[in-house]
Structure 1
Amino acid sequence: MKRAPWIILALLCQFTAQAVEVKALVGGMLIDGFNDHPIQNSVVIIRDDKIAAVGTMGKLAIPEGAEIISTEGMTVMPGLWDMHVHLQINGHADYKHWHSTYPPRFEKEIMPASAHQLLMAGVTTARDLGAPLDAIIEVRDAINRGDIPGPTMYVSGPFIQKKPYPGTELYRWGIKNPKDARAKVKKLADGGVDVIKLIDQDEMTEAELHAVVDEAHKYNLPVVAHAHRPKEILMGLKAGVDNFEHTGLSTAPEYPPEVMAGLRERAAQMNIGPLFWTPTVEGLFNYDYVKNNTEKLDNDSWHLDMPEDIIKDIKQSIEHPERLPYFQITSKRKPTLKRKFKQLIDAGVVLMVGTDSGIPLKFHSQSTWNELDIWVREMGVSSMEAIRGATYWPSVMMKKDHEVGTITAGKYADIIAVKGDVLRYINLLQNVDMVIKHGKRVK
């Protein structure tokens, strides 16, 4: 039976109206990621997976039929990024035991649980810096397909280093010479990684290190490198590393003059873009508190999706945090953190929020807000700048700022909302009330 053209048009319009999902977040204090001051009584219109419009109540019309979500009394802000996580681990204190016991369960159980925990904590994008290649690629892609919940993931796969530590070959690849270095980077690039991770580059020859960085850049992959020792930093700067990680294993009170001179020189070269740094200070700064206040470890947010036998194993491993070898020198390192953090700011590098989430005592459900809290409460960073370090700047570093990182029309709707004023009380981020990822409300 033939239908009249107007009936067909009406059916098409009805189908279109049903297919398009429109949400309106109304009334909250908006931190859009660009402005220095929040926008009061905000309205954010979301159409399917993108932000359609941003404005204020009384000025921006809400589309008819939109799902109205009240954000009155809440802070509305871009979804958080965590630029240094490890989905393959989740707080267990014995690396040797973990990596000899659980690799067969990484892809299907542990990594998906870690990813879900990050998402529920308001982390809508994360960067995994060290994991078995096939497993982390599959988990990343499963998240992107919508098969499992988690942040949008950017992954490095295995570390590149001169010689892997015994028993870590699954997620650390050694290199023999410059040719082998290029071959390993090519294998990672062909495997689909988003970034190359270097560690202990001061143990490489300059030719080997330059081969890693040059080959990565040939594939348009940024290079991330550890910065525990002055020579690691200096060699990384000379080779053209894009992003350094950590504030140093050393108990030295500050970065030496030659490192500071190198950082200032590189930071001044804005024609090649900012020099990025992920300081990952909260794990070190908070250890003494956690050691003496173990009730914090009983927060069951890290149990989400984790099998009961693994939860039991993790609990047993952290029963005596004061005895953990991983942290025995931490109390000596802690007094140096503020000075080094300030030096990095003074040198002009761009700091980003990352946590090393998953290391002993550090759970994916809690690490990111703890890092922001330490930046603001201990390091003297303004709440607005700390939030930019967890939203805007990571998107710039990963060259995704045209897609995410701010609440701007045309970008993906990665948005979180928290009851209260996050700019005044940054620790409110420990309880994120609403999470929207790519337009879908997941919490």
Structure 2
Amino acid sequence: MKKISLIIIVLMCQFTAQAENVKALVGGMLIDGFKDHPIQNSVVIIRDDKIVAVGQKGQIEIPQDAEIISTEGMTVLPGLWDMHVHLQINGHADYKHWHSTYPPRFEKEIMPASAHQLLMAGVTSARDLGAPLETIINVRDAINRGDIPGPTMYVSGPFIQKKPYPGTELYRWGVDGAKDARAKVKKLADAGVDVIKLIDQDQMSEAELMAVVDEAHKNNIPVVAHAHRPEEILLGLKAGVDNFEHTGLSTAPEYPPAVIAGLRERAAQMNIGPLFWTPTVEGLFNYDYVKNNTEKLDNDSWHLDMPQDIIDDIKGSIQHPDQLPYYQITSKRKPTLKRKFQQLIDAGVVLMVGTDSGIPLKFHSQSTWNEMDIWVREMGVSPMDTIRGATYWPSVMMKVSDQVGTITPGKYADIIAVKGDVLRYMNLLQRVDMVFKHGKRVK
């Protein structure tokens, strides 16, 4: 009788743990996203989709019958963000061919493949900046419902600019006057976008530009804008843009004094929060290496979920990476990147990790860790600040820091684990061993 009772108690305990879905990540070196120093011999308790306790072995009680997952010898850190991706493209070198051939396959094949590749690379949140509106909304919502695997997506839909480039009208919207600018932004807001993407703002009238930013902010939507030219930056600052993208200015050796003065002035306004900047340097910095070491392109991580005919088409387009028109000026731009990057830091902007993932030669399975590696190895950013640029600060910028971005009790369990010490070897992130999204182990 006692044996039967004991069996019943054990089964009930197991059922309770399974019903609550309790996990304990035990033993690893934890970077929580807040502290300047990691927590050794860490314990993270997850119940269902949330983190419920964080601490060290011997100080945190592990629930009886929790699923214990060893992270010994690993770095445990918040799931990464990539703040500039394009799910609709995946490394193909001929945009004209891609966008005239594949839009009918974006929603069901290409975008889901891109999203899954990001997730397997440890990216649990990402921001898509430029895609057909209905398509990207549908993909985002399918991920959120759990229909397809991918990061939690924050999307802009089409770019807003003065006039779309020929053949790009599917994912770029032009504006004709301030009234039309407001109407376009309102249409995006009503569709449920998370951010407005603004480019070529120096080609708009001031009234059009102000209307775009004001309408977005009225709808509580942040605005990100290109920073390719000095006037783009200065006008964006005047309008109140929240986040600039790219280092820009082509081969110019540095940002001019007027731009730096404007950035310093804006960064000093603590009452309206940080000015965010996504420099996207990896693609430019690594191009010379990639064109001379093409074996890197044969890594099949970017094949995941991608139909074979599209894989073959992408391969064909990048057979001669040294000949791609997209990158011919890159060798002259590369020497300017460190100076511009440091100027941004000195001006007081908050840098975030983003990659422009999907552009020629750049795959969703590889771009994010490469950006973080370049920040540390070439740009001189500390590993801890780099990680915060890919975890905490993006969550602040997108106003979800109460939900994700750090390994903190009460937040979603978006967590990754990597064998080895990421603070010493950032490039270990190219092989993420475990990925948890909202408490579910997906890798």
Q: Same fold (TM over 0.5)?
A: yes
Look up the SS of the partner of 1:126 in the other structure: strand
**Partner letter of residue 142 of structure 2?**
A
Aligned equivalents of 1:103 and 1:29: distance in 2?
44
Structure 1 unaligned blocks of 5 or more: 1-10
- 1:120-159 equivalent positions in 2, closer than 5 A: 120-159=120-159
Q: CA RMSD of the aligned region, Å? A: 1.3
Look up the SS of the partner of 2:51 in the other structure: strand
Query: What residue in structure 2 maps to residue 71 of structure 1?
Result: 71
Identity %: 88
- 1:23-422 equivalent positions in 2, closer than 5 A: 23-422=23-422
User: Cα deviations across residues 43-73 of structure 1 (Å, max 9, x unaligned)?
Assistant: 0000000001001001111000100000000
Query: What residue in structure 1 maps to residue 3 of structure 2?
Result: none
Q: Does 1:436 align with 2:442?
A: no
Instruction: Compute the displacement of 1:249 (Å).
Output: 4.4
User: Cα deviations across residues 313-338 of structure 1 (Å, max 9, x unaligned)?
Assistant: 00000000011000011111000000
Aligned equivalents of 1:184 and 1:93: distance in 2?
30
Aligned equivalents of 1:283 and 1:17: distance in 2?
45
User: Cα deviations across residues 337-378 of structure 1 (Å, max 9, x unaligned)?
Assistant: 000000000000000000000000000000000000000000
Relative to the length of structure 1, the TM-score reads 0.97
Aligned equivalents of 1:350 and 1:242: distance in 2?
11
Instruction: Compute the displacement of 1:15 (Å).
Output: 6.9
| 8 Å CA contact retained: 2:93, 2:361 | yes
User: Cα deviations across residues 202-248 of structure 1 (Å, max 9, x unaligned)?
Assistant: 00011000000000000000000000000000000000000000000
Aligned equivalents of 2:284 and 2:12: distance in 1?
58
Aligned equivalents of 1:283 and 1:258: distance in 2?
27
Look up the SS of the partner of 1:112 in the other structure: helix
Query: What residue in structure 1 maps to residue 426 of structure 2?
Result: 426
User: Cα deviations across residues 114-134 of structure 1 (Å, max 9, x unaligned)?
Assistant: 000000000000000000000
Look up the SS of the partner of 1:422 in the other structure: coil
**Partner letter of residue 168 of structure 2?**
T
| 8 Å CA contact retained: 2:13, 2:65 | no
**Partner letter of residue 426 of structure 1?**
M
| 8 Å CA contact retained: 2:249, 2:255 | no
Aligned equivalents of 1:18 and 1:372: distance in 2?
37
CA spacing shift, 1:314–1:336, aligned 2, 3 Å = same
**Partner letter of residue 350 of structure 2?**
V
**Partner letter of residue 409 of structure 1?**
P
User: Cα deviations across residues 99-158 of structure 1 (Å, max 9, x unaligned)?
Assistant: 000000000000000000000000000000000000000000000000000000000000
User: Cα deviations across residues 176-205 of structure 1 (Å, max 9, x unaligned)?
Assistant: 000000000000001110000001000001
Instruction: Compute the displacement of 1:385 (Å).
Output: 0.3
Look up the SS of the partner of 1:416 in the other structure: strand
Aligned equivalents of 2:318 and 2:157: distance in 1?
27
| 8 Å CA contact retained: 2:28, 2:72 | yes
**Partner letter of residue 376 of structure 2?**
V
Query: What residue in structure 2 maps to residue 7 of structure 1?
Result: none
**Partner letter of residue 352 of structure 1?**
M
Look up the SS of the partner of 2:213 in the other structure: helix
Relative to the length of structure 2, the TM-score reads 0.97
User: Cα deviations across residues 8-32 of structure 1 (Å, max 9, x unaligned)?
Assistant: xxx9999755421000000000000
Q: Following superposition, which runs of at least 4 residues in structure 1 exceed 6 angstroms of deviation? A: 11-15
Query: What residue in structure 2 maps to residue 4 of structure 1?
Result: none
Name the count of aligned residue pairs. 434
Look up the SS of the partner of 1:427 in the other structure: helix
**Partner letter of residue 410 of structure 1?**
G
Aligned equivalents of 2:59 and 2:194: distance in 1?
41
Instruction: Compute the displacement of 1:250 (Å).
Output: 1.6
| 8 Å CA contact retained: 2:24, 2:44 | yes
**Partner letter of residue 151 of structure 1?**
P
**Partner letter of residue 114 of structure 1?**
S
**Partner letter of residue 329 of structure 1?**
I
**Partner letter of residue 156 of structure 2?**
S
**Partner letter of residue 119 of structure 1?**
L
Instruction: Compute the displacement of 1:402 (Å).
Output: 0.2
Look up the SS of the partner of 1:24 in the other structure: strand
Structure 2 unaligned blocks of 5 or more: 1-10
Query: What residue in structure 1 maps to residue 5 of structure 2?
Result: none
Look up the SS of the partner of 1:380 in the other structure: coil
| 8 Å CA contact retained: 2:17, 2:65 | no
Aligned equivalents of 2:130 and 2:222: distance in 1?
15
Aligned equivalents of 1:12 and 1:432: distance in 2?
35
